[in-house]
Structures are given as structure tokens and as C-alpha cells.
Amino acid sequence: MSDFEPKVIVFLCNWCSYAGADLAGVSRYQYPTNIRTVRVMCSTRVSPHIVLELLKDGADGVIVTGCHPGDCHYINGNYYTEKRMDLAQRLLKMTGMEPERLKLDWVSASEGEKFSHLIQEFVTKLKEIGPNPVSKDKKLVTRLEAAVDASKYFRLKVLTGKDINLTSKGNVYGETLKLESLDEIMAKATEDEYRNSLILQLTNHKAYSVKELATEIGEPTDKTLEHVVSLRAKNMLALDHIEGTTPKYKAITIGGA
């Protein structure tokens, strides 16, 4: 679409990228006016669920910017930002939405020209990808809602950004993990929490059988059954009724199943 103008939200770190954006304006570097900026004290204040919510609500793209690694005003803030945005992109990919709609970059106070180029390149990329499809795809909205919920789970919050401690200092028993092993654990946990959240989203208003859920979430029936058993053990999913010989399940909500 040649007339498509993307809606872009840009998060700016108070100490570096905000000043870089200001310098771009003062220096009269040209860049598209598609952006709406949000100033935060540190890029690490931008949680994955915020990014996912923005895309679910129709933003065509989100950019998160901060200080260069090693220059963070809060020492390790941008390190955690990198891990959190990686989680957000993993979840985006699982929903079927293009992970390229989220971009993380570092912009110092003296890099006004870089900020200008960053916006230009991102807007051009979004024009190639096309408009956010959420308004025409209800299933995508459901998958994004599941991604939002998954990103808030304590399990993923704990794992996100633990590389430093677990790969160098070790756990409470003094055992260290290889980075590759930790990445595998994170990938597995992210997928599990997303699938669980998607099942809860699907069964919130309608009862599903295990086979129906397997079709919806794109997993084998035996694996889906594991999720159902896990959610039932946590009192998050309950047997709603039996249709013929097939059990159908529904999410447990406040006030009843």
C-alpha cells in the first residue's frame, strides 16, 4: 500500500535516546512524522506486555531505545531491556505476527543523526510489511492476548535476564549453567506459558475438547493434554461437560467456571 503510513510508538530513555531525539530535532535531521514518543527513565521500564498490548491495540510498530551497553545510568538496565525485548519477539513470533514490528536499538545523546536514520529505516520496513492485521484477524487478537498474559507470568519474569547470575555466579547451590542451556530453558518456558495462556483465552467463553484445543493451538493432542492437566492442577481449567464420550473444558474465571 503506497498510501499506508504506519503508526509507530517510540520509547526513549531519559538519559540517552531522549537527548538523541532532541538533538535530531535541533539539528534538523529529517525523519518521518509517523512516530509518537514516550519518555521513560530507563528502557528497562518497558515491559514485554506493554509492547504486546500496543501491537494488539493497533500500533503498526514499536521501537524501544536506550543507552549503549556499558553506559546505562542504572548500570545493567539496558541488559535487562535486551532480554525482555527478546522475550517479546519470541512471543510475537508464536502469535504469527512479524517480530520485525518490534525493534530495539541504542542511541546516545550525541547520536541525533543515528536516531533520524533509525526512524526512517523502521518506517520503510513497516511499509514493506504492511498494516497491523489485528483489525481484520480476530484469531490474531486472541493469540496476542495470550502473549500478553504469558509475558506477565512470574516464571518468565524470573528467567528473563538471569544470564549473569546463572552462567557466572551460579544458583543457590553454586551450580552454573551454560548460556545455551539457559536459552533452551527460556525457549521451553516461553512456549509452555504461551500455550497455557492461549488455552485459557480460548476456553474463557466456550468449552473445548482436548482435540479441538490441539487444532487451535497447533500442537499434538498428547502435548495439549499435558497443558490441560497442568492447568487443571492449578485450578485454572475445569471440566465443563461431557459431550457423548468427549470431555469439554472451560477456563475458571472469578465467580465460577
**Rounded to whole angstroms, how far apart are CA atoms 256 and 180?**
42
**Rounded to whole angstroms, how far apart are CA atoms 142 and 155?**
22
- Torsion 235-237-240-243 (CA) sign: negative
Across the range 55-73, mean pLDDT stands at 96
pLDDT for 211:
97
pLDDT for 254:
57
Question: Any idea which residue has 527460556 for its cell?
Answer: 186
Across the range 24-49, mean pLDDT stands at 94
**Rounded to whole angstroms, how far apart are CA atoms 172 and 37?**
41
Residue 1 pLDDT exceeds 60:
no
Task: For residue 100, name the pLDDT band (cuts at 50, 70, 90).
Answer: very high
Look up residue 87 and give its three cell numbers.
522475550
Question: Any idea which residue has 514485554 for its cell?
Answer: 48
Q: Taking the model in full, what pTM does it have? A: 0.90
8-136, what's its fold? Rossmann fold (3.40.50)
If one counts every other C-beta atom within 10 angstroms of the C-beta of residue 217, the result is 21
Cα separation of the two ends of the chain: 45
Q: Decide yes or no: CATH 3.40.50.300 for domain 138-251.
A: no
For the chain, the domains span: 8-136, 138-251
Residue 257 pLDDT exceeds 70:
no
Q: What is the Cα 215 distance to its own chain's centre?
A: 23
Across the range 217-241, mean pLDDT stands at 96
Of 69, 72, 70, which Cα lies nearest the Cα of 14? 72
Mean pLDDT lowest for which of 17-21, 180-184, 199-203, 226-230? Answer: 180-184
Across the range 154-175, mean pLDDT stands at 74
SS3 207: coil
